[in-house]
C-alpha cells in the first residue's frame, strides 16, 4: 500500500472534462493537501501553498502555474456532485485516479477521497451519499490514517471498516 499523502499532482482526465460553470472560489483544499514537485512550484503535502490565502483561495489564480491549471478535483469534473460537496465545504477532496498496472483490471480506475483535516468527516450523511454515488460507477478508496483503504464498489459492497 502506498502512502496516499505522497501522491503528486496527477490527473488522467484532460481538462476538457471540467465543469466550466464551477470555480474553486475560496476553496484551497488541494493547495493544502497535495504534494507539488515541479520546477516552478514545490510544496510538501499538508502544507498550505505560499500563494494561497486561508480565506480567499489562490492569490495568483489567473497566473497560477500550469500544474495547477490542469489539475482538478472530482467536484470540478462531475456536475452531479452538489455544490455542498465542494471540498472546503464537505471536508473531503475526491479525485479520479488510475493505477494502470494494477493486476486486477477492476482496480485500475477508481475514486480516491481524502479528508482535509478530520476523518470523522467520512461519517457525514452528505459524504455517505457521495460515496454511494461513486461506488455505483467506480471503486472508491478513502485515505485513512495515511493509507489508502478500499471503501467499496458495486461488485464488492462496502468495506465493514467504514460501516
Coil, strand, or helix at residue 150?
strand
Length of the chain equals 163
115 contacts ligand SF4 (rule: CB under 6 A): no
Q: How far is CA 32 from the centre of its chain?
A: 12
28 contacts ligand SF4 (rule: CB under 6 A): yes
**Minimum gap (Å) between residue 102 Cβ and ligand SF4:** 25
Using CB under 6 A, which of the segments 47-55, 77-85, 119-127, 128-136 binds ligand SF4? 47-55
Task: Using alpha carbons, select from 138, 113, 139, 117 the residue that is nearest to residue 126.
Answer: 113
Q: How far apart are CA 163 and CA 153, in angstroms?
A: 14
Dihedral angle of Cα 54, 79, 92, 149, to the nearest 10 degrees: -150
Position among 4, 86, 135, 141 found at the interface with ligand SF4 (CB under 6 A):
86
Residue 17 grid cell:
472534462
47 contacts ligand SF4 (rule: CB under 6 A): no
Using CB under 6 A, which of the segments 72-80, 124-132, 133-141, 147-155 binds ligand SF4? 72-80
The site for ligand SF4 (CB under 6 A) is made up of 24, 27-31, 41, 49, 51-52, 58, 60, 64-65, 68, 72-73, 75-76, 86-87, 93
Amino acid at each position: 500500500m502506498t502512502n496516499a499523502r505522497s501522491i503528486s499532482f496527477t490527473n488522467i482526465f484532460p481538462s476538457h472534462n471540467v465543469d466550466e460553470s464551477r470555480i474553486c472560489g475560496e476553496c484551497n483544499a488541494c493547495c493544502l493537501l497535495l504534494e507539488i514537485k515541479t520546477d516552478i512550484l514545490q510544496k510538501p503535502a499538508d502544507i498550505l501553498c505560499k500563494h494561497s490565502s486561508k480565506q480567499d483561495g489562490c492569490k495568483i489564480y489567473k497566473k497560477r502555474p500550469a500544474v495547477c491549471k490542469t489539475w482538478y478535483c472530482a467536484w470540478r469534473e462531475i456536475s452531479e456532485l452538489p455544490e455542498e460537496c465542494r471540498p472546503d465545504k464537505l471536508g473531503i477532496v475526491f479525485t479520479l485516479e488510475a493505477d494502470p498496472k494494477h493486476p486486477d483490471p477492476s482496480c485500475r480506475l477508481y475514486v480516491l477521497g481524502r479528508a482535509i483535516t478530520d476523518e470523522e468527516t467520512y461519517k457525514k450523511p452528505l459524504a455517505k451519499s457521495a460515496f454511494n454515488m461513486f461506488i455505483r460507477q467506480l471503486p472508491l478508496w478513502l485515505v485513512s490514517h495515511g493509507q489508502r483503504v478500499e471503501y467499496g464498489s458495486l461488485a464488492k459492497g462496502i468495506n465493514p471498516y467504514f460501516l
